[in-house]
């Protein structure tokens, strides 16, 4: 009998399954572990997660969690998250009402032959060059997750040395209030 393939999870990248939670938390040690632990033990899937201090107030941080709403009902995820004492507020932003942005940084090897076509792709995507040397270019793109996906795909033609994405942050579109 051949051994089974290792289990790689069931994360589905289709955006319809995703829901964005913008979570205001107390800026205390271990808060991220509490959130991650809760998701792990309740079987909720995190698609991406971004954390930074919130609104010039050192007391709080904002965590943007893109959850897989098919792994569990959103109501359960929000309800359990809200029970964490360090969680101050949760805004639930439906995908269609969300303004989402993500930052992508990539270092790409280039030579004289392909540099022009690389510059074309960068210009078309409205990415920016942040570092250059004789053999490589580091580019930055702040765009929608789809924009980052497309740019990443376009870069596949080149030898990427390294590529990082931040995971997305989001705010509700103007006139679309997030539900608390």
When asked if residue 58 is in the footprint of other proteins (CB under 8 A), the reply is: no
End-to-end CA distance of the chain: 52
Using only the alpha carbons of the chain, give its radius of gyration.
19
Cβ distance to other proteins smaller for residue 25 or 139: 25
When asked if residue 96 is in the footprint of other proteins (CB under 8 A), the reply is: no
- 15's CB contacts (< 8 A; 6+ apart) are 95, 145
Rule CB under 8 A: choose which of 30, 43, 55, 96 binds other proteins: 30
Burial 11-49 (b: 16+ CB within 10 A, else e): eeeeeebbbbbbbbbebeeebeebbeebbeeeebbbbbb
Cβ distance to other proteins smaller for residue 38 or 103: 38
Give the binding range for other proteins (CB under 8 A) out of 73-81, 107-115, 133-141, 172-180.
73-81
Question: What's the closest the beta carbon of residue 90 comes to other proteins, in angstroms?
Answer: 10
Question: What's the closest the beta carbon of residue 75 comes to other proteins, in angstroms?
Answer: 6
Handedness of CA 46, 48, 54, 59 (dihedral sign): positive
When asked if residue 111 is in the footprint of other proteins (CB under 8 A), the reply is: no
Rule CB under 8 A: choose which of 57, 73, 117, 157 binds other proteins: 73
When asked if residue 32 is in the footprint of other proteins (CB under 8 A), the reply is: no
Cα–Cα nearest to 104, from 48, 145, 52: 145
Site for other proteins, rule CB under 8 A: 25-26, 29-30, 33-34, 37-38, 41, 73, 75-76, 79-80, 82-89
């Amino acid at each position: 009998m051949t051994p089974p393939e290792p289990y790689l999870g069931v994360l589905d990248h289709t955006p319809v399954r995703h829901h964005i939670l913008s979570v205001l938390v107390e800026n205390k040690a271990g808060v991220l572990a509490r959130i991650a632990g809760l998701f792990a033990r309740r079987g909720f899937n995190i698609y991406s997660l971004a954390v930074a201090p919130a609104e010039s107030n050192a007391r709080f941080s904002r965590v943007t969690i893109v959850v897989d709403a098919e792994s569990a009902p959103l109501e359960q995820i929000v309800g359990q998250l809200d029970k964490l004492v360090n969680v101050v507020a949760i805004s639930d932003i439906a995908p269609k009402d969300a303004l989402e942005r993500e930052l992508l940084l990539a270092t790409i090897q280039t030579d004289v032959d392909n540099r022009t076509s690389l510059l074309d792709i960068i210009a078309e995507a409205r990415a920016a060059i942040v570092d250059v040397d004789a053999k490589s270019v580091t580019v930055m793109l702040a765009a929608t997750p789809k924009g980052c996906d497309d740019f990443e795909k376009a870069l596949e033609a080149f030898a990427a040395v390294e590529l990082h994405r931040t995971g997305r942050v989001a705010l509700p579109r103007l006139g679309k209030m997030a539900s608390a």
